[in-house]
Amino acid sequence: MLAWQPVPAISAGAPAASSSQLAWTDRPVLWFDPTDPQELPGVIRGGIPVCAPWFGHGPADDRNPQHGAMRLIDFTREILADSANRLRVRYRGSLPGVDVVQMVEMTDSALRLGLTLTSTLGHPQQVEAVWHSYLRVGDASRTTVRGVAGADLHNYATGQRGPLADDILPVRPDTDTVLQDPAGPLVLVDPAWRRRITLRTAGCPTAVVWNPLLSQDTRSDLTGTAWRDFVCVETGAAKEHAIELPAGRSTTLQLEIGVHPDPRS
């Protein structure tokens, strides 16, 4: 199972931190509730689960389990750097037809992820990969996502489709919105905590903005009741932008998450 979860922040004047204390803000950036048992094979809730080698039920909606098999396998872990202000870890795993390597680096300014999928088949295949980032916010009902101008929108909760002319996407009830080719970088504006969470990507033409609040029948599980505390801004390559991976070839996606104060919020 591979899902990045928040770590305690370093307070001002604190002694040199071990890797378990690395953070780059005094408020959490990733949402995670330790009371959730996270029992497999359920969908991982919180942190940054990796959906691969397919997203949802795949490009043709015919694959199981939901959000791919990558979250169900064991990974080997190799720590490449471990100091007071930098932690770099490499994870390796194998799935039928695909080898997976994820690089994770946390510094005092950003969290950087790199995901490489390598085909082990003798013929081309179609793959998807998405980081399902649960981003912690002060009040999801007040948040917006920017950097979306020009994207092709499909809200799976409401059925709304079409191009986006505006560069602001409000997070409202029934937000389950797939965006193809947003202008980027994506910015989650969090007025309650007067900050912006910025996601810069490479090789990631797809974004998904999701929150479990519904206009009716909001789910009653932990994720549903915690809807105000997070917004998922997911990045990767999926659906119309599923990757055509040739035999024996690799594809790499990159994500950098940074946090910036925004007193204007």
Give 231-256 pLDDT, tens digit per residue. Answer: 999 999 999 999 999 999 999 999 99
Render pLDDT for 75-120 as a digit per residue (tens, 0 to 9). Answer: 999 999 998 888 999 999 999 999 999 999 998 889 999 999 999 9
**Structural element, H or E, at residue 222:** helix 222-225
| pLDDT number for residue 108 | 82
Per-residue pLDDT averaged across 197-215, rounded?
A: 97
pLDDT at 36: 67
The structure tokens 């088949």 sit at 121
Residue 194: pLDDT over 60 = yes
pLDDT in tens, 110-157: 999 999 999 999 999 999 999 999 999 999 999 999 999 999 999 999
- How is residue 36 written in tokens? 């959730």
Is 14 a residue whose pLDDT tops 60? no
pLDDT tens-place string over residues 23-58: 567 789 999 877 766 655 566 778 899 999 999 998
Q: Exposure of 264 by Cβ count < 10 A (0-12 exposed, 13-18 middle, 19+ buried)?
A: exposed
pLDDT, residue 217, reads 82
CA distance 204 to 214: 27
Count of the separate structural domains present in the chain: 1
Q: Which of 93, 231, 250 is nearest to 170 (CA)?
A: 231
The boundaries of the domain holding residue 103 are 3-261
Instruction: Name residues whose C-beta falls within 8 Å of residue 94's C-beta, 6 or more positions apart in sequence.
Output: 73, 100, 120
Whether 153 contacts 178, CB under 8 Å: yes
Question: In this predicted structure, what is the pLDDT of residue 175?
Answer: 97
Query: Which secondary structure element, helix H or strand E, spans residue 87, and what is its range?
Result: strand 86-95
How far apart, in Å, are the Cα atoms of 263 and each of 40, 108, 147, 194?
41, 21, 19, 5
> The domain spanning residue 137 has which CATH number?
2.70.98.10
CB-CB contact of 57 with 130 (8 Å):
no
